[in-house]
Amino acid sequence: MILWKELEKTQPIVVQTFKNAFQRDRVAHAYLLEGPQGTGKVDTAYLFVKNYFCRNLNNTEPCLECDNCKRIESRNHPDVLFIEPEGLTIKKEQIQTIQKESSFSGFESEKKVFIINQADKMSASAANSLLKFIEEPNKGTVVILITEEVHRMLDTIISRCQLLPFKPLPHSLFIQQLIEEGVPSNNARLIASLTNNLQEGTEMNEDPLFGKRKELVVQFAKEVYSGSLNAFIRISDFLEQFKEKEEVQFGIDLLTLFYKDFLYAQAEKMEKTVYVDEWDYFLRECKGIKPTVFANKITSIINAKKRIFSNVSPQAVLEQIVVDLQK
Ligand SMILES: [Zn+2]
């Protein structure tokens, strides 16, 4: 159960906006909570709802013990409605339910809250119905829209809501969240350097292909680093695992991260390394080598990667990378 004082650490602007609204008794009739997945938008919406209904507010924190707080916590309050896509979209009928519900007075007060999750998935007719609804708000009714893709929403809806942008989580918190979602710690750092989307991150971890790719890149990187000619032969394995150009790019990103870890090992920053299982290897291999050597190698990988979308074949790009890195 999240509280304002906890949320304040990651989303200070959102918290301040809500606190001001409650302190000045100026709750807006429509909010739009917008930002990446995993930043606590739905939890925040429910926290707002607790504040709105709590019978025993302690300054700006809900008491969590009154009848209203408890029913909201168990998602069981008659005057709070949660809507999300049925199938692929939020349909017009779902928005009409809101309109109907709103026309009755609340069971216990004049207050009603409608939370619409993934609001960008509203069909055109649903969005138009909602627009009419928020243009003529009923007293005491609050609509909270939640989206990860605000650019997909109608400007006319956005302009009628108070927009609350959620910031991506700090890197360390994101790693912690991945671990809480079941991503092993030896994968979490690597994944967190590839995405800042929680769902994408957990899917990556569960994808058996990701494990294979990681293993292959480690093997390839070590062969390249040792100066072995096997590295050239390994390119065909690499292109087996990374077929499309976007995938080749992704594979090269994995290779870049491997070389960055040499720099972290030199600086003895184990907490920064992403291929954590290879820490001893990095420590051993980076001895006596100037940091500029690794920095130059990383630059050459990045430059080669840019050529993927020109007319050069992925095979040629990878050969160039091996040549540059083995210089
Ligand atoms: Zn309460």
Question: Cα(70) to centroid of ligand 1, in Å?
Answer: 7
Question: Cα(54) to centroid of ligand 1, in Å?
Answer: 4
What is the pTM (predicted TM-score) of this model?
0.70
Token pair of 323 as six digits: 């040549």
One domain, residues 132 and 222: no
One domain, residues 216 and 154: no
Q: How many CB atoms lie within 10 A of CB 98?
A: 20
One domain, residues 149 and 238: no
- Is 182 within the bounds of a domain? no
CATH number (domain holding residue 256)? 1.20.272
Beta strands in 272-323 (DSSP E): none
One domain, residues 282 and 161: no
Q: How many domains does the chain have?
A: 2
CA–CA gap between residue 168 and residue 38 (Å, rounded):
8
Is residue 190 exposed (0-12), middle (13-18) or buried (19+ Cβ within 10 Å)?
Answer: buried
- In the predicted model, is pLDDT for residue 200 greater than 90? no
One domain, residues 142 and 271: no
Q: What is the per-residue pLDDT for 311? A: 83
CATH number (domain holding residue 68)? 3.40.50.300
DSSP-derived 3-state class of residue 23: helix
Where among 168, 184, 218 does a domain terminate?
168
- Is 291 within the bounds of a domain? yes
Residues with CB under 5 A from ligand 1 (ion): 54, 56, 62-63, 66, 69
- Is 196 within the bounds of a domain? no
CA–CA gap between residue 101 and residue 16 (Å, rounded):
30
Q: What is the per-residue pLDDT for 109? A: 74
**At 44, which helix (H) or strand (E)?**
helix 41-53
- Is 112 within the bounds of a domain? yes
CA–CA gap between residue 258 and residue 280 (Å, rounded):
13
**At 153, which helix (H) or strand (E)?**
none
One domain, residues 148 and 214: no
Q: What is the per-residue pLDDT for 106? A: 61
Residues 6+ apart with CB under 8 A from 280: none
Q: What is the pLDDT of residues 13-67, one digit of tens each?
A: 999 999 999 999 999 999 999 998 888 899 999 999 999 999 998 888 899 999 9
Percent of the chain clearing pLDDT 70 (strictly above): 98
**At 21, which helix (H) or strand (E)?**
helix 12-23
- Is 28 within the bounds of a domain? yes
Question: Cα(69) to centroid of ligand 1, in Å?
Answer: 4
Question: Cα(39) to centroid of ligand 1, in Å?
Answer: 24
CA–CA gap between residue 95 and residue 161 (Å, rounded):
16
Domain residue limits at 263? 207-326
- In the predicted model, is pLDDT for residue 262 greater than 80? yes
One domain, residues 158 and 233: no
One domain, residues 10 and 155: yes
One domain, residues 21 and 120: yes
